[in-house]
Amino acid sequence: MPRTVFFHETGGPEVLRVEEAPAQPPGPGEVQIRVEAIGLNRAECMLREGIYHEQPVFPSRIGYEAAGVVEAVGEGVTGVSEGTRIATVPSFALSQTRQGVYGESATVPAEIVRPYPAALSPAEGASLWMAYLTAHGALVHYGRIGPEDAVVVTAASSSVGIAAIQIARARGASVIATTRRAGKKAVLAGHGADHVVATEEEDLPARVMEITGGAGARVIFDPVAGPLLTTLCGACAPYGTIYEYGALHPGETVYPLMSMLAKSLTITGYQVLDFVRDEARFAAARDDIFAGLESGALKPVIDREFPLEEIADAHRYMESNAQCGKIVVTV
C-alpha cells in the first residue's frame, strides 16, 4: 500500500505521521496520480495547527501542491490521460483534509491538474503553481506593474517572494525586497532584487523613500500583515496599493486608517485560490509564466529537499524561516 501522511490531532510538526493506506481509485471527475514530489506551503502548517479556513477531519490528509504522473482517470474526465506528467494547482476544488497530496498516491479533482513544461524536474513542477500564480495574479493581473514602478516584496525569501522578484524584474520594475535580518541580503540580491532591506536593522519607509527619490512604492506585496501593515503604508506611494496575501503575523492586524487616509491608499486582500477559479485568467497567467520559464526570466528556486519519511522535519524547517526558496519533499 502507498505511504500517506496523516495527522490525527492538531499541533506542531510532530503530529504528522507517515502511514500505509490503500490508494483511492478516482471517482467521477477525479484522477489518481503517482506523486513524485511535493511542494510545501504555509497553508499546510495552518491546516495542521487548526487555524486554516478549512478545518481538518481526522484522520486528516494534508497538502495542496504536488507533481507526478496520472495513473488512472475517473468517469467524465477529459483533457488528461494516463501517463501524463502533471502538477496540481492549489484551488478551493481540493480539500486538503480529504484529498491532500502528501504521500505516494493522491486522488484529486481533474480540474486542478495541469501539465507542466517538460524541461522542469518533478521537484520544480511541484514548486511552480502556488508561487508563480500567487505573484502573477497580484503583480501582473491586478497590479499592472511596469518599468516605471517600484515594487516592495516582503518576506522575499519565500518561494512566492522569489517568484515575485523574478516576475517584477521581467516586467521591468525596480524590486525592493525585505528580509528580517541582513544574513539573506546577498542571496536575495543574487535572485534578482535591486535592493534588499533588513527590516529588523533598518527603517523600511526611510530606505524605500531614499531608494525611490521620495516617491515611494506604488505596489507592495505582503504576506505578513500585523504591525508591519502600518509600516508598509509609510513606504507606499500616494494612491498606491498594498496586496495582502497571507497572515504570517500570529496576532491581530489593526486597520491603519489614518495612514491610509493620508495617502489615499488601497489595501487589497488577495489569495491565489480565488484567482485560479477563472479559467480565462488562469490561462493568461499560465501562458505568461510558461513564456518566462522558456526564456529563463523565471526559474523555480528550490532551497532544500527532504524524503517523505522526514515530513515532520520538513515542516520544522519551514517554520524556522531559514529557507530561501521552495522546500520540496521527494517521494
Over residues 90-115, the pLDDT tens digits come to 887 889 999 999 999 999 999 999 99
pLDDT of residue 245: 93
- Do residues 138 and 245 touch, judged by C-beta distance below 8 A? yes
- Do residues 31 and 77 touch, judged by C-beta distance below 8 A? yes
pLDDT of residue 272: 84
Task: Count CB neighbours of 291 within 10 A.
Answer: 12
Structural domains for the chain:
3-128+300-330 (3.90.180.10), 131-273 (3.40.50.720)
The grid cell for 309 is 519519511
pLDDT in tens, the chain (331 residues): 999 999 999 999 999 999 999 999 999 999 999 999 999 999 999 999 999 889 999 999 999 999 999 999 999 999 899 999 999 998 878 899 999 999 999 999 999 999 999 999 999 999 999 999 999 999 999 999 999 999 999 999 999 999 999 999 999 999 999 999 999 999 999 999 999 999 999 999 999 999 999 999 999 999 999 999 999 999 999 999 999 998 888 888 999 999 999 999 999 998 887 777 788 889 999 999 999 999 999 999 999 999 999 999 999 999 998 999 999 999 9
DSSP 123-186: HHHTTTHHHHHHHHIIIIIIT---TT-EEEESSTTSHHHHHHHHHHHHTT-EEEEEESSGGGHH
Residue type at 67? A
How many Å apart are CA 134 and CA 272, to the nearest integer? 5
pLDDT of residue 250: 84
Q: In what order do the strands lie in the sheet with 150-153?
A: 195-198, 174-179, 150-153, 217-222, 236-244, 266-269
How many Å apart are CA 59 and CA 284, to the nearest integer? 38
> At residue 103, what are phi and psi to the nearest 5 degrees?
155, 180
Axis-axis angle for helices 228-235, 204-211 (nearest 10): 20
Three-state secondary structure call for residue 328: strand
How many Å apart are CA 241 and CA 219, to the nearest integer? 5
Q: How far is CA 148 from CA 168, 212, 216, 218, in A?
A: 11, 11, 12, 10
DSSP 8-state class, residue 227:
T
pLDDT of residue 90: 87
Pairing of strands 217-222, 302-307: unpaired
- Do residues 62 and 96 touch, judged by C-beta distance below 8 A? yes
How many Å apart are CA 121 and CA 224, to the nearest integer? 30
pLDDT of residue 155: 95
Over residues 297-320, the pLDDT tens digits come to 999 999 999 999 999 999 999 999
Over residues 210-226, the pLDDT tens digits come to 999 999 999 999 999 99
